[in-house]
Amino acid sequence: RSQKPVYNFSFEGNPQASPWAAEALRHGFTASATLPIFRNGLLWAVMGAYLGDGDTIDAEIEKILNDLSQDIGFGLDRLDLTHRERDANAFNIALLNSLTVGVNVMRYPDRVIERINDRMLALAGVSSHEALVGLSSRAYFDDEAAFKRAGEFAQEVLTTGHGKSRDVPFVKTDGSVIFMDISGQRIDSVDGIARIVWTHIDVTERRHSEQIIRELSEARASLLANTTAGISLVRYPERIFTEVNQGFLKIMGYTHADEVLGQTTAQIYPSLGENHRIRSLAKQILQSGHGHIRDLCLVRHDGQAIYADVSGQSLRDATNPKHAVIVWTLVDVSERYRLTRALADQAQRDPLTGLPNRRALEDEFAKAIARAQRHQRMLAMVMLDLDDFKPINDTYGHIEGDRVLRVIAERLQAHLRRTDFVARLGGDEFVLLIEDANNWDEISTVLNKLSEAIQLPLPLEDGRHIQVSFSAGVATYPHIDTDNPDTLMRAADQALYENKAHKLDRLSFWTCYGQNTQQRQNWAQSLLYAGGVRVFYQPIMDNLSRRIVGIEALARLSAADGRILPPAEFLPQLTTQDLWALTQQLLTQALGDLKALEQIHAPLWLSFNLDPQNMSDTSIDWLRDTLAHTTLPAERITVEILESSNFSEQQAALSHLAELKELGVMLALDDVGSAYSSLLRLRDLPVDKIKLDQGFVRGLADNPEDIQFVKAMMDLATGLELDLVVEGIETDDILDAMTVLGVQTLQGYGIARPLPMPELIDFLQQPARAKRVHPTSLLGLYAKQIHIHALLKSSIKQNPGLINQKQFHQCLALQATRGTAADWVAINALEDQIFTALIEAYRAQQGHKASPAY
């Protein structure tokens, strides 16, 4: 219990040992000793020693026993220490080998590797410790210089106790080189030998990535320095420049980046409007990642305004996640902007006079009517037409005529008020917008001032002078309550027409619509301008497929009592200006209807009539604008020009036809055959189709020989590569005859009468007519005979118009009955007789004597 040695010097003389004395003596033991054995400082066991043969425990034996028990305890402690050291060593080895970094212990100064972990073996490219432990580290290095530098670094670690080095090259056993970050820690060993524990981290991939980043950075720097585009990095929300390239400095007129960096972007935006545009774009980019705008106005360092296309890409500021960065790229497009504006200005300018054109007039009218409505002021539209301008062109030539128009334009601009507007519609027609007029007197004052300026003598190139005047028609808002420029223009045009029509008895060179024009309107004009136009459509059939392929838009007027008035009743009541207004209303409605018909039927082409008198620069400009505002292809629109006796002889008309053709529309010459002059010049006209005068077709039942004319027109159209449309298909017999002849495109009551839109829709949904193979009428049989005869005569290269049908048919019948080849002689004889008779008739008509009989 006392954990101290207990000595029993004699069993006989020790009362405390009496309980064991008899047993001890029986075994011959006379004395004993009990000693504690300690292990790691704790009682671990008890050692007992027994003496016999009368021996006793003296001081020497006591010392021996004490030393023995202590030696046993010390031995046990040493054994435990060895076990612990072995476990600790195994743990350390496992710990070292589990590290993801390479570790070795190197002895100095001989630089021999004493210990190494598995990761270091892998980094070195070996599989066993024996391959490196006990060897010099020289094999790590590519040359002596590198080995020497490593030794110098080790000496620093031995001196200071620790150290680090980056990107140190190491040679693996296979000869490849890797790069490592190393750190060393000196070990102060009890044996006095200098050692360093080295830690190695493989940074080859990092070094490679850094190299790539470095190369990319160099490439980026080179790109930024050499690209012509301006690139800037702007931090948000402060909108501060953090980086700019040389392109940006050059475009914006700066010399050094320091002039920009740290400054806000507000210094390069000249107005609140542009500032708002870029703010909105930046907000979009920060939300979606990217964005761009065109033609942004910027101000250079020298104050000059430029225009740029700007795009942006959002980034995140790695140094401050709360901030965002936008990479802005700007390209100087000032030249393009100026060119685009110039082209846009040209598109709204009359090329001859430089005045605004019709398109510009429409834009300006929208602004002017808005101002008039907002300020409740009067707005006057004035249609101005030079009096007797055509004789100037005819007398002095078009060059002088153009010069006169330019001078007139200059005088109009010079003598109008600053708030007024002038445009040229074409020819000698001008339009004025007079704003802020309080009454008619103010309008009169402006017009009188213009009249005085225009009537000043005009010098010509040859020194002579001429004098011109003008007529004007005025329409005003709010007296005509509309925001439609066409409505006001039609009223002004009507007033102009009235003024020119009563030139001899007029009190003024201008007339205002509403003062006397409405009183002079007839009933047809009243219906026309009161919205009474109705459009009917007559289907046009492809006779080969028997399907409807087109429609002709025909105008009707709706009377107050609901009656639909045909053209024969109202056209004589309309003036040339009225006809143009009628055409405008008709085409506007027809284009909308044609678009709607696409929902129920294959695409149709649309034709409408344009009176030659209405062909002018103004009408062509209107057609151009109208076609530009529809999605329908221009080639599906056919403009039918009515053939007149002198139409094809007018050079201006031919020029207008060429302009119409440039719009992309198809041109058709209507009522062909009614004017011989156009028929002669048909080859020179830029038309795509001809429409045969229906008078030749409607009377075929009474005059079947007119089929010859139809056949001749077919041959003419084929030779000129024109499409032929035959109108006047009134009866089934006529339809049969045209089918036999092979006419492809037909129109007339025998197919369908002109229909209002609802009835047209019903008609188009009906099945196509059945095709015909053989003639079904006498007229059809007659046409068939003519067709066969034409083929026969073509085969013998004779003119079919010189053959008397009846006699020829009798001869053919005789030949068919007798069936002898000699009968062809009779046919030839008959032809000779016909030719002789024609020649004699011609000579008699010309006053010559008859030739002797053959």
CATH number for the domain spanning 62: value is 3.30.450.40
Q: What is the pLDDT of residues 717-769, one digit of tens each?
A: 888 889 999 999 988 889 998 998 889 999 999 999 999 999 999 999 998 88
| This prediction's pTM | 0.41
Q: What is the CATH number of the domain that holds 750?
A: 3.20.20.450
Catalytic status, residue 55: no
Is residue 235 in some structural domain?
yes
Q: How far apart are CA 498 and CA 516, in angstroms?
A: 9
* Beta bridge partners of residue 332, listed in sequence order: 308
pLDDT at 6 over 90: no
Q: Which of 176, 193, 208 is the last residue of a domain?
A: 208
**Percent of the residues in the chain that have a pLDDT greater than 90, as a whole number:** 16
Q: Which residue has the tokens 């008397």?
A: 804
Q: Which residues contact 532 (CB under 8 A, 6 or more apart)?
A: 526, 557, 558, 559
Distance (Å, whole) CA 764 – CA 773: 24
Is residue 648 left, alpha or beta, with left meaning phi > 0 and alpha meaning psi from -120 to 50?
alpha
On whether residue 223 sits in a domain, the answer given is no
Q: Which of 15-19, 207-211, 380-384, 792-796 has the highest mean pLDDT?
A: 380-384
Residue 226 inside a domain? The answer is: no
CB atoms within 10 A of CB 409: 19
303 torsion bin: left (phi>0), alpha (psi -120 to 50), beta (else): left
Write the CB contacts of 6 (distance below 8 Å, at least 6 apart in sequence): 33, 34, 35
Instruction: Say if residue 698 is in the same domain as residue 760.
Output: yes
The strand pairing partners of 724, in sequence order, are 690
Residues 203 and 103 in one domain: yes
DSSP 333: -
The residue with greater pLDDT, 209 or 605, is 605
Residues 352 and 319 grouped into a single domain? no
* 174: exposed, middle or buried (Cβ count in 10 Å: 0-12, 13-18, 19+): exposed
Residues 48 and 66: their CA atoms lie apart, in Å, by 11
pLDDT in tens, 291-331: 898 888 888 888 888 999 999 988 865 556 667 889 999 98
| Active-site option among 385, 428, 670, 671 | 428
Q: Among 37-46, 154-163, 583-592, 768-777, whose mean pLDDT is lowest?
A: 768-777
The answer to the question of residue 510 being in a domain is yes
Task: Assign 667 to helix, strand or coil.
Answer: strand
Strand residue runs (E) in 591-651: 605-610, 637-642
Tell me the per-residue pLDDT of 375-395, one tens digit each, with 9 for 90 and over: 778 889 999 988 888 888 888
Helices and strands of the chain, counted as H and E runs: 27, 29
Q: Same domain for 487 and 541?
A: no
In the block, tokens 């743990």 appear at 91
Respond yes or no on whether the N-terminal peptide bond of residue 19 is cis (omega within 30° of 0).
Answer: no
Alpha-carbon span 235 to 237, nearest angstrom: 6
Evaluate whether residue 733 is within a structural domain.
yes
Residue 854 has pLDDT above 50, yes or no: no
Q: Which of 118-132, 272-286, 501-515, 535-549 has the highest mean pLDDT?
A: 535-549
- Say which CATH number the domain at 323 has: 3.30.450.20
Distances from the Cα of 701 to the Cα of 616, 730, 801, 834, angstroms = 41, 11, 20, 26
pLDDT at residue 136 tops 70: yes
Residue 793 located in a structural domain? no
Max avg pLDDT among 263-277, 334-348, 412-426, 456-470: 412-426
SS3 414: helix
Please write the tens of the pLDDT for every residue from 616-626. 877 888 899 89
Average pLDDT over residues 252-261: 90
- pLDDT band at 122, cuts 50/70/90? confident
The most confident of the ranges 169-173, 179-183, 374-378 is: 179-183
Q: What is the mean predicted confidence (pLDDT) over 38-58?
A: 83
Which of 162, 177, 208 is the last residue in one of the domains? 208
Pair 511, 530 in one domain: no
pLDDT band at 842 (very low <50, low <70, confident <90, very high): very low
Would residue 184 count as lying in a domain?
yes
Q: Within its chain, how far is the Cα of 244 from the centroid?
A: 31
Mean of pLDDT values over 91-110? 78
Structural domain including 631 reads 526-765+775-784
| Domain total of the chain | 6
Nearby residues of 666 by Cβ (< 8 Å), 6 or more positions away:
605, 635, 637, 638, 639, 688, 689
Contact residues for 605 (Cβ-Cβ < 8 A; gap 6+): 549, 550, 551, 635, 636, 637, 638, 666
**What is the pLDDT, as a whole number, of residue 651?**
66
**275 within a domain of the structure (yes/no):** yes
Tell whether 185 and 305 lie within a shared domain.
Answer: no
Lowest mean pLDDT among 342-346, 679-683, 807-811: 807-811
Model confidence at 432, in pLDDT bands (50, 70, 90)?
A: very high
Residues 294 and 365 in one domain: no
H-helix segments, 261-389: 272-288, 334-347, 358-375
Closest CA to 11 of 41, 46, 55: 55
Q: What is the mean pLDDT of residues 573-584?
A: 83
Q: Is the peptide bond before 321 cis (omega within 30 degrees of 0)?
A: no
Considering the domain architecture, whether residues 365 and 496 belong to the same structural domain is answered as: yes
Maximum CA extent, the chain: 204
Residue 818 pLDDT more than 90? no
* Higher per-residue pLDDT: 307 or 11: 307
Here the CATH number for the domain that contains residue 458 is: 3.30.70.270
Given a contact cutoff of 8 angstroms between Cβ atoms, the answer to whether 435 and 420 are in contact is: yes
Domain shared by 258 and 357, yes or no: no
Q: Which pLDDT tens digit goes with each residue over 397-418?
A: 888 889 899 999 999 999 888 8
Q: Are residues 497 and 363 in the same domain?
A: yes
> Taking each helix axis from N to C terminus, what angle separates 732-741 and 778-795, rounded to the nearest 10 degrees?
20
Q: Are residues 139 and 166 in the same domain?
A: yes
Give tens-digit pLDDT for 502-544: 665 554 566 776 555 544 557 788 888 888 899 999 999 999 8
Q: Do 264 and 314 have their domain in common?
A: yes
Last residue of a domain, one of 752, 784, 816: 784
Distance CA 433, CA 382 (A): 6
- In the sheet that 194-202 helps form, which strands lie side by side, from edge to edge? 112-116, 102-108, 194-202, 177-188, 162-171
> What is the per-residue pLDDT for 680?
58
The mean per-residue pLDDT over the stretch 42-71 comes to 84
Give percent of the chain with pLDDT exceeding 70.
84
